[in-house]
Each structure stands twice: as structure tokens, then as C-alpha cells.
Structure 1
Amino acid sequence: MTIATTNPATGEVVEKFAPHDDAEVQRRIAEACEAARTLGETSFSQRAAWMHATADLLDSEIDSTAAMITLEMGKPIRQARAEVVKCVKSIRFYADNAEAFLSPQHLADPSTVSASAAGTVWQPLGVVLAVMPWNYPLWQVIRFAAPALMAGNAGLLKHAPNVPQSALYLDELFTRGGYPDGSLRSLLVESSEVAAVIEDRRVKAVTLTGSESAGRAVGATAGRQLKKAVLELGGSDPFIVMPSADLDAASTVAVAARVSNNGQSCIAGKRFIIHTEVYEEFVDLFTDKMNDLVVGDPMNESTDVGPLSTESGRAAVSGLVDDAVAKGAQLLAGGSAPDRPGWYYPPTVLAGLTDDMRIVREEAFGPVASVYRVGNRDEAVRIANQTAFGLSSSVWSNDDAEHDWFVRNLEAGAVFLNGMTVSYPELPFGGIKDSGYGRELAAEGIREFCNLKTVWKA
């Protein structure tokens, strides 16, 4: 495996990085252990002060950090800046709310358990390993690190091999904000070395955002060690449009949902399930808006869609489209990679899908939309639930009773009504089925890596 920054817009290798050898890995795990001991003895107010200082640092470095993200994985620079701003918000959110989320709870009538006092306290586990992907190089890490560190844990970060500059930036960020050395330590190692880190008795838990296969491997290793794991895996989210919907708004948001981050988002709308009464109108609006997008240099402020992050990623997306077309799918937009440097793929719309096509079952991690025509809400939910994934979903309707019905019947970790699925620090985030288990963000996210300890006093 090569650990390197490769510009997806040109295919040029910008800089290579030497992997950490075993001695360096052991040193960094030891540093994280020492930091965890220190953090466990500090107050929430002290940790919050460091966290706010970290947020201020990141806020002052938005432009340079965004440029680094775009260079490493190719997202449009406007979206890269928005990612950094979101990280700042999340850091401040946990600085301000962690103590309340982890406050002790007291039994109102302890005599019912023959005690003078009884209740629960939350305590940190220690060192937590985070295995993170390239598609949101800062946000994916911050949404783990901010709550984990505010709870008093320390973190080890095994980042994706194509975003080493982001990994090393994060390695120093919290320390620069005042946190003890080792509070978040990056490990520049191959994926094959992750199991050994999980098996290390000094590591108490693991969280992973990534592919289904990676989740199965990490979950199995953690299970054998009886260690807590949180897994946020793939998604093939449905975007359902019913007759009462505002079609102009729905089609505009549908485009943003499908091509945000160049289409490389687990929670992006990928399967557009449209009621037959509005199918033709919606598809015309949607296809026109997809065709109007500007594909180009991600450093350019006017670019809507940049390159995919890797050559192999583009090949995977192209393979799904080619398979569908060969089996009879209609190509309404896009469908072939341009003849230019870099790993670009155009916004693409497919219709006339059948169950033998791979794209019906597999996640399209790029700007490719699958469109389905349905006759009623039951058919919409059947198609929505037919994949193995269950991350999020979006429903467009102005019928409140219909809202309630879809919320009850969609198999997903979230349902967004008349809006695009987005992760917020204030709301728990995660999926079901092959999209993983556990929750990030909100109070539920900070509690995942804490011990809920019962306290009973005679």
C-alpha cells in the first residue's frame, strides 16, 4: 500500500509518506494511553476550554485546510470550506454540551432498591481506535474525536492512505489547542495492521466508517476481543417523491443530494423513487438540472462536481453504469468518462432498471442516479427497502399522514421529510442492516465510548 497525496484532478502524485513501523506504532499507542490517564482526571471545564481553543484554531485555518482537503480527495473547494466550518461547529457543540450529556443520574426514590442513594455515572473507556475514510477527511474524524475527547477518552486514528496530510494535520490539531500530547494520535499504517491494534489490550474500543467488507472485518476482530465497536458503513438511500410534493424544490435538492462531495457520500440520495403521477415532470426537471452542473477543476469556485477521489473508484462507478446499460437501462444523462486528465465522471441518470443489474443491489459511490417509477406508496417502500442497506432516506410529500406512514415503514436509521439527509451534531447518526450499528453525534454519540456505571449506597 502507498500512503500518498495524489491529486485526483490530474492523477499526479504530490507527496509520499513513509508508513510508521512497529516501534513507532507502539510509541504512539503508549502516548495515547498516557493521555487517556491524564484526560480521565481532568474536569469537563478544562477539556471544554481546550476544545474551544481547538475550534478557534481550526476556524482561523479554514482556507488552508479546505485547500488541503480538495488537493487530497478532489471535492469542490466551496464544499471543502463547508466541511471545515461544520467541524468547527461540532467541536464547539461538544465543548458546550458534553458535561450535560454525561451528567450523573440519581434514582428519585432510592428506597425502592434498599439504598440511601443510587444512580449512574458515565466514565471514559480509555483509548479508542478510529478507522476513517477519505470522503470527508476532517468531518468523519472530528465527529468521533470531539465527543470522545470531551468524554475523557484518547483516540488513535488510522486514516485512509490517500489523505495522509489530513491525518497528520489532525494529529497535531488538538494538541495545539491545549490537549495533552497523544490525545489524538495518527497511525500511518496499512489496513492489514488494523487488527493488531484492535487486539492490543491498551485499546478499549473501535469505531469505523467505511465499506461493508471493512466493517465486517473490524467488527469480527472487535467481537473476538469482546470490545465495543461502532460501525457506520455504506448506504443506497432512497429519495421518494409523491404527487403532493413541490417538484421544483424536490428536483433541486435531489441534484444536490446526488452530487454533493462528487457523489461520494454514504448518506447521499442514490435511488430516486418517483410516483407515476409526477414521474415525467420530475425526471425532466432532475435531468435538466444534472446536465447544467459544472464539472471541472475542484479548486475553481464555480465548479459543482470535481473528480472522483481515486482511479479505482471511477472504474467501479463506470462498471456499474456499463453493466446497467448493457442489460437494458436507459441512459438519460452522462454515462461515460471524459477524455481528460484526472478521475472525472459526469453526472449520470439511469432509468428502466431491473433486478439483474448490479446497481440495483450495490452502492454507486459517484454522481450516478437511479430513477424508478412506482404506482403507490407500498411499491415505493418495497423498492426503498429491497437493498441490504439502511442508512437514511428522504421523502417528499405535503401529506402529514403520508409522512407518518413512511416514517413507520422505511427501514433506515433516519427519515428526512422534504429535505436532504444531512448529519448534524445535535442529532444521532447511524444505520441498520448492512449500514452498520451504533450511533454517532448528539448525546448518543458521546455515550458510545463511555462506561455507564451503576452506583448504590447503603
Structure 2
Amino acid sequence: MKYVETINPATEEKVKKYKIFEKRDLDRSLNNSKKASENWKKLSVKQRVSIMKGISKELLRNKNEYARTITIEMGKPISQSIGEIEKCAWLCDYFSKNAENFLKNEIIKTENKKSYIRFDPLGKILCIMPWNFPFWQVFRFAIPSLYAGNAVILKHSSSTLECSLLIEKLFSKFLPKGVFQTVIADTKGVNYLMNYIEGVSLTGSVNTGKVIGENAGKRIKKFVLELGGSDPFIVLKDAKLRFTCENAVKARFINSGQSCIAAKRFIVVKDIADEFADKLLSLVEKLKVGDPLKKTTDIGPLVNYNQLLSLDIQVKKSIKQGAKVLYGGKIINNKGYFYMPTLITNTNNKTAVIKEETFGPVMPIIKVKDDREAIKEANNTEFGLGASIWTENRKKAEDYAKEIEAGAVAINSVVRSDPRMPFGGVKASGIGRELSRYGLLEFTNVKSVVVN
């Protein structure tokens, strides 16, 4: 019998021990999911909406408990954890109002008496989710998939297992038994589950995405991959610097820098680069690092020691390559996995904190000659998740948005995931989309029907 323990990253104290599912446990979950799926898919979308309509209120009713669990398990500042739960409730309300319209038959004019497209559920969908947004990333997949008529099996990160059980408990108050389940599985368990599901959605690293994509391909299973990001934050000469700098801090340091869609490369036209760095420094110096359960905290711990060590290695490597640290650049040697908010200049596209994805509170600035070089540098990455452009010339920015290789481009705003807009990337950032109607239809059988 194998177990896994969760650790509070702010205190390094053990939180709880969990039993890893054995084959018989996984079989029970699969059988429950299969039975539930057969009945759930027979319901109309209107019936599913009626059954699930109370989920958003339940989230808000228990948001303080859920938020505290997030913070204890993975270190997110409590104010952001509360915001995460509130965002999940918004998502639930959005799909509750729109699922019927998104899933209605689409009439196609042909020479036949009747031609239309219908969207049928696939069946049992496995979702493999990470620790950094432990409620949001589950809900943005599960809610649309459930409305589409699928049954969901959640395999969550080993760092946030209490979150996964709370989510299961919440859904069990509304859904029939087996429609939503949590499994605590290791790699062997996931490989076993892959044989018996109809689709899989992963949010995780590029390497894990390659493994899951390969496994799904071998079994001819539908899959969606939401992987890493190294989003460019492009500052052009005519940007409003104070406004831009304030948003740069938000874009980089949300969730202590542990976000796939956080801005990670600050590409600034050289004419304003020094002024941009000076204004940023004055803001970064004011960030409060500490107990994530305090509402005044801006930066909490990284999720675990390995994450902390990896970030520190990237920064030290960058310094050896010639980068200059304006602020921070080191581990805070107290209890917990804390890293100072860090501002770095004198970088180029070979510097470790530019070339590699950084998952922590590190903000590197790279100077470029002009707009054209900025766009070229923005695309000089294996990733293509999001990007932002900061300028007073919105028409020019929209033209540049066409050239940027990313799944989302924000002009004069921070890149965010939004229930109303599709979310996903290109290149090494993934395959497929979540959210909006596009995400809802990912795990459906798009079926053509012709009547004569």
C-alpha cells in the first residue's frame, strides 16, 4: 500500500497523508463512471443545467474554507485564493446560462430535406490537473464537459489532494453518483485509466504533455493539452509607463509567479527601457513577502523545495551569463519555500530566465531596438500561450497581434483566462482549447445528420 503526503510550503509542515489508489480502487471508479455516464448523457442539456445550477452558490457559500485549503496546500496568497473561488462561481454561472445555446443543433442548408450537426458526449473523460490553480483549472475543464454530457474523473496534483477531495464533495451534492469522481493515482494508475476512458485533458508541463499525448495517440483517445508558457510583455515606445508598470507587476507576480499565463519576458524598446526598469523597481521593492494566510501578503512561498531550487539555479545561471540583478535574486532563508521578488536586466534570448520558462517571482527585462525587433523577440520561444502589447497606438497593436504566435493576445491589459473566450496555446504550449463554446465542444462527438 502506497501513500503520498502533502506539505504546507509556507511552514514546511506535513499536512496530511493519502492512500494512492490500487487497481481495485481504480476499477471501482471506472465502473461507477461508466454506469453514471450512460444515464447522464441521456439527459437533456436543460436537465443538466437544472441539476448543476446550485454549484456556483455552493462555491461562494464555502469560499473561505476552500480558499484556506488552497493556501495551506500550495501557498497562494489568501486574497488570490478567494478570488480563484469567485472566478469558478462566475464560470459556473456563465455556462449555466449558455450551455443550451452552445450545444443546440446547428442547422446546415443543403439539398437534403434536413441537415444538421449535433454535439453528443464522448463518455468518460480523465482530467489531469496541476497544483497552481487547484480549483480554477479543474472547474474550467469539468463544468463545460459535464454540461456536454460527459462523466469526469479527476486526477489532481499530489500537492493539492485535499482540494481535489473538496471539489469531489461539492459536486457530489448535486450530481448523480459517479458523474464526477476523484482518484489519487500515480503514473502507473494513470496509464491504467487511459485504457478505459474516451478522452483526456491535461494541464501540466511540456514533458508530461508529450507522454500523455503519446499514450492517448496509441489508444486513439481524444486529448487536449494545456502546457507551459513564456509569455512576452511587449512595451513599445509610446506606452503609458506608470500604467504599464503597474500591470507588469500584476502580470508577473500573480500566484507568486507560478502561472502558465503569467508574463515572463519583458520586452522593452530601448528608448524607454531604463525608465521602465526604474519605475518597476520602485514597485517591486514594495511587494510584501510572507505568510500567505495574511490578506496583506503579495508574494507567498513556491509550492515545494524542488521548485524553489530550480528557480534559484535559473537565476544564478543567468547572472553567470551576464544578467544584472536590480532587486532580489535569492532564497529567503527562513522556514518555507520563499524567494525574493526579483528584477533582472541585461538579458538576451540566451539568458536562462529568458530562454527557459520560469515558475516563480522573477521578472527579466530584455531591451530591443524597435517594434519590429520586439515582435521578432516575442516569437523567439518554443512556447505560444499568451502575449500582451502595451502602446497608445491600438491599430498598430492589432496589426502586430496578427504576427504573434500565441493563443491569446491582450492589448493594454494583462492576459487572463476568461470563460467567454477560448483558452489554449500553439507550439509547445499545447493542443486544443478550453473555455467558451470552443472549449465546451472539445469533448463532444460533432455528428452530421442528414434526413431525406
Deviation at 1:263, TM superposition (A): 0.4
Q: Using the alignment, how far apart are the partners of 1:140 and 1:59 within structure 2? A: 17
Contact between 1:47 and 1:95, CA under 8 Å: does it hold in 2?
Answer: no
Counterpart of 1:445?
Answer: 439
Q: Using the alignment, how far apart are the partners of 1:408 and 1:269 within structure 2? A: 19
Aligned residues: 451
Contact between 1:199 and 1:221, CA under 8 Å: does it hold in 2?
Answer: no
**Per-residue Cα deviation, 1:234-267 (whole angstroms, up to 9, x for no partner):** 0000000111111111100100111100100000
Deviation at 1:410, TM superposition (A): 0.8
Counterpart of 2:334?
Answer: 340
SS in 1 for 2:19: coil
Counterpart of 2:186?
Answer: 190
**Per-residue Cα deviation, 1:258-289 (whole angstroms, up to 9, x for no partner):** 11001000000010011112111111111211
The runs of 4+ residues in structure 1 deviating greater than 4 Å are none
Q: Using the alignment, how far apart are the partners of 2:440 and 2:308 within structure 1? A: 35
Contact between 2:394 and 2:411, CA under 8 Å: does it hold in 1?
Answer: no
SS in 2 for 1:415: strand
Q: What amino acid is the match of 1:378?
A: R
The two structures have a TM-score, normalised by structure 2, of 0.98
Counterpart of 1:66?
Answer: 67
Q: Using the alignment, how far apart are the partners of 2:237 and 2:139 within structure 1? A: 39
The two structures have a TM-score, normalised by structure 1, of 0.97
Q: What amino acid is the match of 2:178?
A: G
Counterpart of 1:93?
Answer: 94
Q: Using the alignment, how far apart are the partners of 1:264 and 1:362 within structure 2? A: 14
Q: Structure 1 residue aligned with 2:308, among 314, 327, 352?
A: 314
SS in 2 for 1:273: strand
Q: Using the alignment, how far apart are the partners of 2:364 and 2:194 within structure 1? A: 38
Q: What amino acid is the match of 2:141?
A: F
Contact between 1:381 and 1:409, CA under 8 Å: does it hold in 2?
Answer: yes
Deviation at 1:359, TM superposition (A): 2.2
Contact between 1:4 and 1:163, CA under 8 Å: does it hold in 2?
Answer: no
Q: Structure 1 residue aligned with 2:136, among 119, 139, 143?
A: 139
**Per-residue Cα deviation, 1:363-383 (whole angstroms, up to 9, x for no partner):** 000000110111111110111
Counterpart of 1:77?
Answer: 78
Q: Using the alignment, how far apart are the partners of 2:52 and 2:239 within structure 1? A: 42
- Residues 137-216 of structure 1: pairs in structure 2 closer than 5 A: 137-176=134-173, 178-200=174-196, 203-216=197-210
Q: Using the alignment, how far apart are the partners of 1:144 and 1:355 within structure 2? A: 34
Contact between 2:348 and 2:366, CA under 8 Å: does it hold in 1?
Answer: no
Deviation at 1:322, TM superposition (A): 0.6
Contact between 2:228 and 2:429, CA under 8 Å: does it hold in 1?
Answer: yes
- Residues 382-401 of structure 1: pairs in structure 2 closer than 5 A: 382-401=376-395
Q: Using the alignment, how far apart are the partners of 2:68 and 2:374 within structure 1? A: 41
Q: Percent identity?
A: 37
SS in 1 for 2:158: coil
Contact between 1:170 and 1:184, CA under 8 Å: does it hold in 2?
Answer: no
**Per-residue Cα deviation, 1:287-344 (whole angstroms, up to 9, x for no partner):** 2111110000000010000000111001111110010011211011100111100000
Q: Using the alignment, how far apart are the partners of 1:127 and 1:367 within structure 2? A: 38
Q: What amino acid is the match of 2:93?
A: R
Deviation at 1:355, TM superposition (A): 4.0
**Per-residue Cα deviation, 1:150-173 (whole angstroms, up to 9, x for no partner):** 111000111000111011111221
Counterpart of 1:130?
Answer: 127
Unaligned 5+ residue runs, structure 2? none
- C-alpha change, 1:283 and 1:437, in structure 2 (3 Å) is same
Q: Please say which of residues 233-242 and 401-410 is displaced more in the overlay.
A: 401-410
